[in-house]
Chain A
Amino acid sequence: MLTLSRLAARSLWNRRTTALLTLLSIAVSVTLLLGVERVRTQAKLSFANTLSGTDLIIGARTGQVQLLLYSVFRLGNATNNIRWESYERIRDLQSVRWTVPLSLGDSHRGYRVLGTSTDYFTHYQYAGDHTLRFAQGKPFAGTFDAVLGAEVASKLNYQIGDEIIVAHGAGQTSFVRHDTMPFTVTGILARTGTPVDRTVHVSLEGIEAIHLGWEGGAPPRVQLGVEDVAQADLQPQAITAMLVGLTGKFQVFQVQRWVNEYRGEPLMAIMPGVALQELWGLMGVAEKALVVIAAFVVVAGLLGMLTMILSSLNERRRELAILRAVGARPLQILGLMLSEAGILSLLGALAGLLLFHLVLAVAEPFALEYYSLQLQWQPLTLYEWRLLGAVVAAGVLIGLWPSWRAYRLSLADGMTIRV
């Protein structure tokens, strides 16, 4: 039995060159739509996964997004520091379980250098309950030991035992380098997909050491070397920020208020989840723009189909008259044209799906390498299925127009074929 949709399929096959091109344009637009959607959600996810398990981030008083940016994303600079005694007071609070001091301000060939304590390696968590793992080596123990993030090690091709020079300031091409005090790589962390990968970790004492004799951001007149460090007092005077873990969720607001009202100096405590959300919200406009563009590309693809069906209509008036003559009802003509639109958009969507997975497979390693974006294969989410469904539905809906015209034409033409 030749059903209407089979007739439509045969008719389309008869016009396969244009039909295939139409299908391809729908497929490409669907691929783009799914791609944008996937990148968007994955980016959002890996963004939200940057830091977990930390209850509060504390720094000098500024905006919460700014504090998040410099303490977690290593972007921008702190306006002020936390005095060591403030750090100690917070550390010793009843409801504080652990603290990790963060001291920023130096860099190594464009990568930020972070002074911290070994607690960092036990308490920093990301993507739920993942803790940092050493791919090679071990945490720093001595003053001039350094632990590299995965990207730093792979991009700069460092091995355990290599020596690195830290530069003063965050720039790629800093003129002031602490070159008399090289650090030795003792450990390399496993890849995390977070800014940790792009960080060089050293001890707070190491940071103190390379700044010995510095006053007000100016280098000492006489260059000091490793041998001078031995007798020096390396007790840090200040840090940039700190990560705090509390004994319970209920203490969060209490400690936050305590910090915000702290008299010693203007400090601020933020909840990483809330700040991450606010930061993502700032990028929301770009995110929505991307989706809107992708949606418009799909519309363009479907309009291409509309053009194709409409322009084929005139040459097909004879076909329609023949169908009418053998007993097809105008409604069946409508159905025929609708199935044509349906077949095109369905196949287009399926081809788009296929293409999407192909592109995903090819792009996955690059996305991870260059953008720290996880794009592994995973089944389509319900939302993505809905998007596909919406494309097909929109295709059929758009198909209503030429179908209606064909219906009117076949009513008006009847048995005479007027061109």
Chain B
Amino acid sequence: MSENLVDIQNLRFGWPGQSPVLDIPAWQVAPGERVFLQGASGSGKSTLLGLLSGVHQPVSGHLMVDGVQLSGLKGASLDRFRADHLGYIFQSFNLLPYLSVVENVTLPCHFSRARRERLKSLGLNARREGMRLLSALKLPDSVFDRSVTGLSIGQQQRVAVARALIGRPPLVLADEPTSALDAATRGRFLELLFRELEAAQSTLIFVSHDDGLRQFFDRHDSLADLNRIHPEMAEEL
């Protein structure tokens, strides 16, 4: 077993019927790191996160996340892996409109026994932990049981952080979660995110095309450097 939380070797992936998108010879992330992974639009950042979260399966290569060899796993085990080990934050619209704020946060606990167990071993129940996270992320108590549709974009993204972190998953994947926020909100958002990552002792992989965010992170990688496949510039125009 490697000591790295993420260990990639010779990972290849292509969408069915399309030319390969990713060919990564080697990439490692150590536990506790906060990695900023920069890449142009269409370069395959979201695709890589899909691989890391076990939604897609690599064509070939070695892909180990939190001690689990994903390249060998199939369907249901991959889903269990994701439910148990990962928090995921989308660019925007992270929340289910028909659930209340707290229900959105506790949603992963319904799909993962491991998360529930982790909470239980800490003497917490899902709802209480959800409310604690929301408070820590500076959301007012008054919105907890309200519909998520009343929240501002910044608030919604913080709810998404609470959801990603509930039950303390070892790895949090964030796919441009700040792109809809203005500069000031963005700084505060990242600050709160980092603080809670610390508390949960989770590792973060944060992808974005926006190089301006690198200053907040201690490690920055560029997908273009990792990946042997480079989408033609023509495609970008």
Interface of A with B (CB < 8 Å)? Answer: 1-2, 10-11, 13-14, 318-319, 321-332, 414-417
Q: Which of B91-99, B129-137, B187-195 contacts A (4 or more CB under 8 A)?
A: B91-99
Contact A329 B76 (CB under 8 A): yes
Contact B98 A415 (CB under 8 A): no
CB within 8 A of B99: which of A1, A10, A318, A321? A10
Interchain CA distance A321-B91 in the complex, whole Å? 12
CB within 8 A of A319: which of B96, B111, B175? B96
Q: How far does the Cβ of A1 sit from chain B's closest Cβ, in whole Å? A: 6
Within 8 Å CB of A329, what residues of B?
75-76, 79
Contact A322 B83 (CB under 8 A): no
Contact A327 B83 (CB under 8 A): yes
Considering the complex, which residues of chain B in the window 90-132 have a beta carbon less than 8 Å from any beta carbon of chain A? 90, 93-99, 103, 107-108, 110-112
- Which residue on A lies nearest to B147, using beta carbons? A14
Known contacts being A326-B163, A329-B76, is A414 close to B55, with CB within 8 Å? yes
Tell me the dominant secondary structure on chain B's binding face: helix
Contact B84 A327 (CB under 8 A): yes
Contact B46 A327 (CB under 8 A): no
Interchain CA distance A11-B56 in the complex, whole Å? 27
Within 8 Å CB of B108, what residues of A?
326-327
Contact A326 B98 (CB under 8 A): no
Interface of B with A (CB < 8 Å)? Answer: 46-47, 49-50, 53, 55-56, 75-76, 79-80, 82-84, 88, 90, 93-99, 103, 107-108, 110-112, 163, 175
Contact B98 A325 (CB under 8 A): no
Contact A326 B55 (CB under 8 A): no
Within 8 Å CB of B76, what residues of A?
329, 331
Contact A414 B111 (CB under 8 A): no
Contact B107 A326 (CB under 8 A): yes
- Which residue on B lies nearest to A318, using beta carbons? B93
Seed contacts A14-B98, A326-B111, A326-B163; 20 additional CB < 8 Å A-B pairs: A2-B99, A11-B98, A14-B97, A319-B96, A322-B96, A325-B82, A325-B90, A326-B83, A327-B79, A327-B80, A327-B108, A328-B79, A328-B111, A330-B79, A332-B111, A414-B55, A415-B90, A416-B47, A416-B50, A417-B90
Interchain CA distance A318-B98 in the complex, whole Å? 13
Contact A327 B97 (CB under 8 A): no
Q: How far does the Cβ of B98 sit from chain A's closest Cβ, in whole Å? A: 4
Contact A2 B107 (CB under 8 A): yes
Within 8 Å CB of B175, what residues of A?
415
Interchain CA distance A323-B99 in the complex, whole Å? 12
- Which residue on A lies nearest to B114, using beta carbons? A327
Could you give 5 example pairs across A and B, Cβ below 8 Å? A2-B107, A326-B108, A326-B163, A414-B55, A415-B46
- Which residue on B lies nearest to A328, using beta carbons? B111
Contact B75 A330 (CB under 8 A): yes
- Which residue on B lies nearest to A321, using beta carbons? B90
Give me the 7 closest cross-chain CB pairs, A-B, nearest first.
A327-B83, A327-B111, A14-B98, A414-B55, A325-B88, A329-B79, A326-B108
Within 8 Å CB of B111, what residues of A?
326-328, 332
Interchain CA distance A318-B90 in the complex, whole Å? 10
Interchain CA distance A322-B107 in the complex, whole Å? 10
Q: How far does the Cβ of A325 sit from chain B's closest Cβ, in whole Å? A: 4
Within 8 Å CB of B56, what residues of A?
414
Q: How far does the Cβ of A13 sit from chain B's closest Cβ, in whole Å? A: 6
Interchain CA distance A417-B94 in the complex, whole Å? 11
| Most chain B beta-carbon neighbours within 10 Å: one of A10, A11, A326, A330 | A326
Contact A327 B112 (CB under 8 A): yes
Interchain CA distance A325-B166 in the complex, whole Å? 13
Known contacts being A415-B46, A415-B88, A417-B90, is A325 close to B96, with CB within 8 Å? no
| Most chain B beta-carbon neighbours within 10 Å: one of A10, A327, A332, A414 | A327
Interchain CA distance A90-B99 in the complex, whole Å? 83
Contact A13 B107 (CB under 8 A): no
Contact A1 B98 (CB under 8 A): no
Interchain CA distance A38-B99 in the complex, whole Å? 42
Contact B53 A325 (CB under 8 A): yes
CB within 8 A of B49: which of A13, A330, A415? A415
Interchain CA distance A417-B46 in the complex, whole Å? 10
Contact B50 A2 (CB under 8 A): no
Contact B95 A1 (CB under 8 A): no
Interchain CA distance A324-B53 in the complex, whole Å? 10
Interchain CA distance A98-B110 in the complex, whole Å? 79
Q: How far does the Cβ of A67 sit from chain B's closest Cβ, in whole Å? A: 68
Interchain CA distance A328-B83 in the complex, whole Å? 7
